[in-house]
Chain A
Amino acid sequence: SQQGEEDPQALSIQEGENATMNCSYKTSINNLQWYRQNSGRGLVHLILIRSNEREKHSGRLRVTLDTSKKSSSLLITASRAADTASYFCATENTGTASKLTFGTGTRLQVTL
């Protein structure tokens, strides 16, 4: 079953703009992760944020986590055409260690 729901389902921006994607989940988590998938390819791990963390940065990526609202956001700053991909959040849920449950994804299109 799907744990996370990403919002929006699709996002189109121009190069240089920031892109924000949101993820909501339903159960208690150990950590939340974001992945990127280029069309027809495997997923690439971007960043992991633990349940006791509120914000994390990696290069142009900024992830926030609000466990009280069961939500997370991924911000990509100064987007590039190469950032065009689908982005998925995934949760490792408390009590179901070793398994990730993925959301439905946000399709990001960055145009020149």
Chain B
Amino acid sequence: SQTIHQWPATLVQPVGSPLSLECTVEGTSNPNLYWYRQAAGRGLQLLFYSIGIDQISSEVPQNLSASRPQDRQFILSSKKLLLSDSGFYLCAWSLTVGRGGYTFGSGTRLTVV
């Protein structure tokens, strides 16, 4: 069966420090991968999505970047965190468009202090 792993669960980082959040998917090949951010009490904002290795689309200009070094690995990074980067970050995967929903990871609560 397919599973998705996202870590860490919580992270407190100082302003100006780097960030690396990792997401891996098991049990499937060539998934579409996504990074979303959720502000407190709000909906989800799509940050990046990838339909294949090294094929990454950015949805909003920001202080973050994403990479997909392997088929089932998606990494969210920042060189220097801002206070506004705080939020709940969710990784998700999907297969065939329109056939089913996304499967989400358990999320990373990032607090920039």
Contacts and interface: CB of A to CB of B under 8 A. Distances in A.
A48 interface: yes
Given A97-B97, A98-B32, A98-B49, A45 B103 contact: yes
Interface of A: 2, 4, 30-31, 33, 35, 40-46, 48, 50, 88, 90, 92, 97-105
A67 B107 CA distance: 32
Contact of B100 (A35, A48, A99): A48
A4 B43 CA distance: 9
Interface of B: 6, 32, 34, 36, 42-46, 49, 51, 59, 88, 90, 92, 94, 97-98, 100-107, 109
23 contacts: A33-B101, A40-B88, A41-B107, A42-B6, A42-B104, A42-B106, A42-B107, A43-B104, A45-B101, A45-B103, A50-B98, A92-B98, A97-B98, A98-B32, A98-B49, A98-B51, A98-B94, A98-B97, A100-B102, A102-B46, A103-B43, A104-B42, A105-B43
